Amino acid sequence: MSILFTHIKELVQVREHTQEPLRGAAMDETPSIKNAYLFVEHGCIIDYGSMDQLQPHPAEEVYNCEDHIITPGYVDSHTHLVFAATREKEFEDRIHGLSYEEIAARGGGILNSAAKLASMSEEDLFNQAQQRLNDLMAMGTTSIEVKSGYGLSVESELKILRVVNRLQEKNHIPIKATFLGAHAIPLTYKEDRDGYLKLIIEEMLPAIAKEQLADYIDVFCEKNYFTVDEMLRVIEAGSAYGLKAKVHVNQFNAIGAIEAAVKAGAVSVDHLEVMTAVDYEALAASSTIATGLPSCSFFLGLDYAPMNEMIDQNIAVALATDYNPGSTPSGNMNFVFSLACIKMKMTPQRAFNALTVNAAHAMGLQDEVGSITKGKRANLLFFKNIDSIAAVPYNFGNSIIDKVFVNGYDINN
Ligand code: NIG
Ligand code: FE
């Protein structure tokens, strides 16, 4: 099928190349064409330009988009979409003054989610995750990364990653799978950390690799979770199976995880609520993407990752939701966009670049999505009756998207 969109009020995030993530001053621009056309064929962007330059195109369908701003879809490079149950009780406990860490120490948190997931069937987990994904796509997410990590046993970690695999087969958007066996130490291994690391490295990883269920490997490197040395052991074991690292670091404490992860070649380091001078230095000289998760800071009342400071130090940054039942029960990228502008003081241009082009780099999809570029997928957002993309974060708490296209098709038709 071929479609020609004509008279587009503004076509935003138009880029010839996106081989490198955006840094520094390049983050301040979202190149666009006013009164534009866009030609899409077989699900891909074939051509675009200003209406003055429009040559005759043999399009099967033609749409006048004079009321619409068109952008690429959001790329959510960090989610825990597959979980068994919500955790409102912990939410109430926090309102009464307990901290996230205190709740975890009492057996709540990740261990609570793992206990619930163990007793849920793969079928039910899949159905719930698919419903969540449908909701996210309607809010503009058209590429997503999904982690395991609420299994913490061979059987349950495999169950989650098989669900992610089914999501990949059933949906037409790019979905990357990340193995996060090192999310927390299960109670049964409380006195035997090394035993759990061996389980991850010698049993979970080979089984996951055999079924080709993961693209990336992740570790929650944090006090009371996994040490820097343990993170490095898991990253190294993953790399033997071709899995690159995307890791949780610096959420509550700076313990040297960033420098170590960068040295180990991590694709991204995520959270970054607590940063030191050494952390900035390690990232500035690297190709690792620094991913901020402002909805998590919002929900837990943490500091926000210092995105502008990182951009000013030439660090490549992205933004993602961190959708999960404990620290971020929202997968709405529009809300991340608003928080980035309102709380992190990023300009709409910086935030949008972090939500699209750089987010694609954070999950190895820079040649496929994240911008209006010839050859990329036609995963597009249509905004009606707005004058600039600043209207998106301005309308916080709402999704003002009129239409979402995946591979050239309106997801609602
Ligand atoms: O990214 N920090 C580690 N993992 C999740 C939260 C996990 C949970 O509380 O269930 C996060 O915030
Ligand atoms: Fe997370």
Q: What is the pLDDT of residues 156-173, one digit of tens each?
A: 999 999 999 999 999 999
Res 107 pLDDT > 90: no
Mean pLDDT (whole number) for 121-141: 98
Ligand 1, residues at Cβ distance < 6 Å = 109-110, 113, 220, 248, 251, 296, 322, 324-327
Distance between CA 405 and CA 413 in Å, rounded? 10
CA angle 11, 15, 21 (to 5 degrees): 125
Residue nearest to atom 12 of ligand 1 (CA): 327
Was domain 75-361 assigned CATH 3.40.50.300? no
Report the atom number in ligand 1 closest to the C-alpha of 113: 10
Supply the pLDDT for residue 399.
Answer: 84
Res 329 pLDDT > 90: yes
Burial 289-314 (b: 16+ CB within 10 A, else e): bbbbbbbbbbbbebebbbbeebbeee
Supply the pLDDT for residue 360.
Answer: 98
SS3 of 337, please?
Answer: helix
Centre a 10 Å sphere on the Cβ of residue 217 and count the other Cβ atoms it contains: 29
In the chain, ranges of CATH 3.20.20.140 domains: 75-361
Q: Which of 253, 199, 241 is nearest to 217 (CA)?
A: 241
Q: Quick one: pLDDT band at residue 185, thresholds 50, 70, 90?
A: very high
Supply the pLDDT for residue 11.
Answer: 98
Q: Quick one: pLDDT band at residue 218, thresholds 50, 70, 90?
A: very high
Res 285 pLDDT > 90: no
Q: What is the pLDDT of residues 171-183, one digit of tens each?
A: 999 999 999 999 9
Supply the pLDDT for residue 67.
Answer: 96
Supply the pLDDT for residue 159.
Answer: 98
Of the chain, the percentage scoring pLDDT greater than 70 comes to 100
Report the atom number in ligand 1 closest to the C-alpha of 296: 12
Report the atom number in ligand 1 closest to the C-alpha of 83: 10
Q: What is the pLDDT of residues 9-65, one digit of tens each?
A: 999 999 999 999 999 999 999 999 999 999 999 999 999 999 999 998 889 999 999
Distance between Cα 247 and ligand 2 center (Å): 9
Q: Which ligand is nearest to the CA of 85?
A: 1
Distance between Cα 325 and ligand 1 center (Å): 8
Distance between Cα 37 and ligand 1 center (Å): 42
Report the atom number in ligand 1 closest to the C-alpha of 87: 10
Question: What are the beta bridge partners of residue 187?
Answer: none
In the chain, ranges of CATH 2.30.40.10 domains: 2-73+370-410
Mean pLDDT (whole number) for 126-140: 98
How far the first Cα of the chain sits from its last, in Å, is: 14
Q: Quick one: pLDDT band at residue 106, thresholds 50, 70, 90?
A: confident
Fold (topology level) of 2-73+370-410:
Urease, subunit C; domain 1 (2.30.40)
Ligand 1: which of 77, 78, 79, 80 to mutate, most ligand atoms within 8 Å of CB? 80
CA angle 124, 110, 173 (to 5 degrees): 50
Mean pLDDT (whole number) for 307-323: 98
Q: Which ligand is nearest to the CA of 83?
A: 1
